[in-house]
Amino acid sequence: MSPRILLAAPGALDSDTQAFVLVGFLTLIVPILFICVLSGPERDRINDFYTAGRGLKPLRGALVLSGVYLPAAAVLGTTGSVAVFGYDGLFIALCTVLSLGVLLLLARPLRERGGYTLGDTFALRAPGPGARIATAVVTLSVCVPVLVVQLSGAGATTTALLGMTGPGAEKTAIVMIGALVVCATVFGGMRGTIVIQVIKTVVLLGSALTVAAVLLHRFHWSADSLIDAAREGSGRPAGYMRPGLRYAASNDPEGTLDFIGLMITVVLGVSCLPHVAMQLSTAPDGATARRTVRHSIGIVGTFCLTTALMGLAGAALIGAPAIVAADPGGNSTLLLLTGELAGGSSPRTNGALLVVLVSCAVFLTTLAAVASITLAAAGAIAHDLYTKALRRGCTTEGREVAAARLASTGVGILSIVLAVWVQGWNVLFLTTMSLAVAASCLLPALVYSLFWSGYTRAGLLCTLYGGLFCTVGLQISSPVFSGTPLALFPERHIDWFPLETVVLVSIPAGFLFGWLGSGAGRRGRKGGQGRPGQPSGRREPQTTEADWAT
């Protein structure tokens, strides 16, 4: 994907406009980063670093949770899906809102039984280091691929917005963005992440509403005119507002199953992401967590509506063929549309301000998403692996916070190195794979842990490891990994699994592994009463602030 193309409809921005965009960009971004760092905890207390003191009110919590729910990949990808695939893209936007309905069911019990990480939740059902290690492995398997995709996309997007070209510029942008995120996470912790998420949500929603108002004005505030123009600009007017374009190249049965699988992946996977669950821990109690999710439904729903409008406008004003020519994934749609609404290559002042607003929104979206995911991964390493599994709880608050900061740095550096290494590869499938892992491992484990008294340690380990190996194995054997022109390795042919989305198999497998493992664990305890092993009802001691104080 050529960065120069991204803002080239009808042409690239001229040098004066690019300079104006750069100045406006830095004027907004730099103070926000300073505020984020300065908002960090004053003392090295794990409650502050992981949960910001658990004092987040519903409205502010909803702004933060909405920011977590809208990463750059979702913002750019959903807009592009609507522009290129019409009806199927609209359904993807709807599924993002529906996933909050799943989170609403889990919010109260998850907050009431949760600690700092998902490992604390699972430890109530399955004490011991084994469950902690398994949870950390799955958490990192979900977080690191998403970080790579976010940073890789951020490099291309940032260089396009600032008028730079070439793989070297993209790799430099990846390193710079990654370094900024690492600093924000290390020094800001959850408090700094909350600040940047709130600002990101406000700026993102404000820019989306502004763009939506501008394009509706262009179509005389007529939704019918917009849809008709989008249908004509799609290049496939007969099928644009009918299901099936997303997987039109697949055989009918496989395409239908892939579409259903994609919907399930979005609805169930997003709601169980580790950084989403970690965000709920910032609420004072379970009732507040539920109110936070309810408020988030309205915010995310409003944004998804504007996303649908922008996607339709992209098809109408730019044309789906031009969008696909610039980027086969359609992720350039929002930037192309912004350039068109701003007035092309030489926009006026108002147009340049619109470009600055959208540029800052996209950049902040990337920073906020990467910061939240990095913090969740660091919590799994520092809290679950170091404090609970390795040190067995025998450490101090200061040492755990230091370990979390070191883990944030390590995860950030690893993600930067991987993102630079895979720059230019088609790694978008990693996002779908991460969501599939969350839906196939964390969802069954959460449902069983929160609602089934017969769930055992063996069942939890079988769910996490079995679901992980099943999901990754099927994904590697699917057409998105090899054997097709848009696959990661198109020249190789190990695509024996016919579907691009694997959750139709991996989610039932995750639930089955948990049920079989729990049954085997109960039979093993009955056969050996004197052997080590705790019953499912016994809880692992949880470290509280009072424990740290003593």
- Which domains does the chain carry? 27-391 (1.10.4160)
Closest CA to 274 of 117, 162, 407, 169: 117
Residue 482: strand pairing partners: 489
Amino acid at 383: H
Amino acid at 48: D
Distance between CA atoms of 541 and 338, rounded to whole angstroms?
A: 53
Cβ-count burial of 42 within 10 angstroms (0-12 exposed, 13-18 middle, 19+ buried)? exposed
* pLDDT score recorded for residue 532: 41
- Cis ω for the linkage preceding 444 (within 30 of 0): no
Rg (CA), the chain: 23
* pLDDT score recorded for residue 42: 63
Judged by DSSP in three states, 396 sits in coil
Total length of the chain? 550
Distance between CA atoms of 415 and 412, rounded to whole angstroms?
A: 5
Distance between CA atoms of 95 and 159, rounded to whole angstroms?
A: 31
* pLDDT score recorded for residue 4: 36
Closest CA to 195 of 41, 43, 402, 378: 41
Closest CA to 140 of 331, 321, 355, 407: 407
pTM: 0.87
* pLDDT score recorded for residue 157: 74
Closest CA to 71 of 430, 487, 506: 430
* pLDDT score recorded for residue 437: 96
Q: How many CB atoms lie within 10 A of CB 122?
A: 30
Distance between CA atoms of 308 and 295, rounded to whole angstroms?
A: 20
Question: Can you list the alpha helix ranges (DSSP code H) found in 392-537?
Answer: 397-421, 429-437, 443-451, 457-461, 467-476, 503-527
Residue 443 near residue 272 (C-beta atoms within 8 A): yes
Distance between CA atoms of 390 and 262, rounded to whole angstroms?
A: 38
Residue 77 near residue 83 (C-beta atoms within 8 A): no
Tokens of 375: 């913090």
Amino acid at 251: N
Question: Can you list the alpha helix ranges (DSSP code H) found in 248-342?
Answer: 252-270, 274-280, 286-317, 320-326, 333-342
Residue 489: strand pairing partners: 482
Residue 228 near residue 315 (C-beta atoms within 8 A): no
* pLDDT score recorded for residue 36: 73
Distance between CA atoms of 344 and 207, rounded to whole angstroms?
A: 18
pLDDT (tens digit, 0 to 9) for every residue of the chain, 550 residues total?
333 333 433 344 556 666 666 776 677 777 777 777 677 666 678 888 888 888 889 999 999 999 888 887 788 888 989 999 988 899 888 998 999 999 999 999 999 887 889 999 999 888 889 999 999 999 999 999 999 988 887 777 777 766 666 677 888 888 888 888 888 888 888 888 888 899 889 988 988 898 889 888 888 888 889 999 999 988 888 888 888 777 766 556 677 888 899 999 999 999 999 999 899 999 999 999 999 999 999 999 999 999 999 999 999 999 888 888 877 777 888 888 887 877 655 555 666 777 777 877 888 888 888 889 999 999 999 999 999 999 888 888 889 999 999 999 999 999 999 999 988 777 778 888 999 999 999 999 999 999 988 899 999 999 999 999 999 999 999 888 887 777 778 888 888 888 888 999 999 999 999 999 998 867 666 655 544 444 444 455 455 444 443 3
Question: Distances in Å between the alpha carbon of 478 and those of 267, 487, 488?
Answer: 21, 9, 11
* pLDDT score recorded for residue 41: 67
Closest CA to 374 of 398, 406, 402: 406
Residue 28 near residue 363 (C-beta atoms within 8 A): no
